[in-house]
Amino acid sequence: MNTITLDITNALPDGVGENGIGRKELEETIARLSEHFSKLIASPMPFMMLPSTRFQFDEMRSLADKIGKMGIKNMVLLGIGGSSLGTQTIYDALLDPFHNHEERFRGGKPRYFILDNIDPHKMGAIIETVLPDIDKTVLVVISKSGETPETISQFMIFKELMKKSPGFQERIVLITDREKGILNKIAAKEGFSVLNVPDGVGGRFSVLTPVGLFPCALMGINIDKMCAGAAGMAAHITRYDGDENMAFVIAAILCLMDKKGKNIHVLMPYCERLSGFADWFRQLEAESLGKKGFGPTPTKSMGVTDQHSQLQLYVEGPKDKCIVLFYSATREVPIPASFDYLDDVAYLANKDMKDLFHAEFQGTRLSLTQAGTPNISLVLDEVTDYNLGALFYLFEMVTLLMGHLIGVNAFDQPGVEQGKIYTKAMMGKKGLEKERRHTEELLSKPAKAIVF
């Protein structure tokens, strides 16, 4: 089966008292979203069409098949933010956790290296790792604008490394805007393959485009099933109204919690395979909604690990948080009757690790609820390509609907752009001489620093 079950009991007054969302307020907010959604259906945002259009699926499969016959040993992905988080999320969820460690876990697929940071130490280590097999390395470069300095600088390094091996052009794939940008110019000059980001789809909403799906096709992940999951969730959101609509309910609760001062949204998966999903949604919510002095602050915890790290704060700290729990566990790992001379551990003997894991999840829910900390839960019967596609689409829609309630444009990121301008100016980009002088003035101001 492929089911996702949402439980909002512990976000209502019956669960957490005055810290919960009242039924009337919830119903009124959901009604507002229903009215807005009817307008969206008439004029959908471009990302909403992706499950039905299956943009460039044939091109992705054809290119992945061609590369798959080259005996590739390494896949290096260059991209940052929305250009890499989706792929990392999918790999974490669907590939073996030790995929990169040994061949027996890879099933003939290449190792992967996702360079979502330009930290020189990590960059150097990855270069040293792939260099012995550079002639068996495929490079995937992702930037919609083609002007992301982090990605382009990485590309400059890896292109020079790869060009020393024969046929390197066939092992470089660029994913970018359909017409504009530097990467298109480079591809036309050097003969690299190109896939595209559909018009109107920004990076953090692009996981169901070649940005997120082509690297998955390279690993043999079923992108059709993932897209079918997204289509199934799109059908659910269209078919159901009111408190039967999962997207409406989550968006309404998170916004109303924000309004009540519970503006820290803690994403806490009880499933290590969904750890990457929490990172993906952190970017989606933060970059889409943090504007004009508004917006919740998403953060991440990991169950059960952070029961021994953060849970104390969530239970007895300030009531400024709403916890979003994810749970899935299917694999059985029996606990043997060891240490039979210790009565204190006898309760664990002949049980299963899955049962303990579920008890930890339920124990956290109960402790949060007893303390008046609002929490909602999403339980997946399995972590599959289908369910993952459904989750991606669900939370993209949740973010869009929250943007409507908060009153911000969920698709721009003006706060990010200024930092990009400063970076390019300091690096000496032409046309930014005025900005460079300005940054030099700012950086020349006396600093209060302490040196150890």
Give the active site residues: 287, 308, 420
Cα 253–Cα 268–Cα 322 angle in degrees, nearest 5 = 30
Question: Which residue in the block uniquely carries the two structure tokens 């990590």?
Answer: 122
* Beta carbons of 235 and 16 less than 8 angstroms apart: no
Return left, alpha or beta for 433; rule: phi > 0 is left, psi -120 to 50 is alpha, else beta.
alpha
> CA 341 to CA 238: how far, in whole Å?
59
Q: Give the Cβ contact number of residue 85 at 10 Å.
A: 26
CB hemisphere CA count around 42 (13 angstroms): 6
ω before 266 within 30° of 0 (cis)?
A: no
| Per-residue CA distances from 61 to 54, 148, 154, 332 (Å) | 12, 27, 26, 35
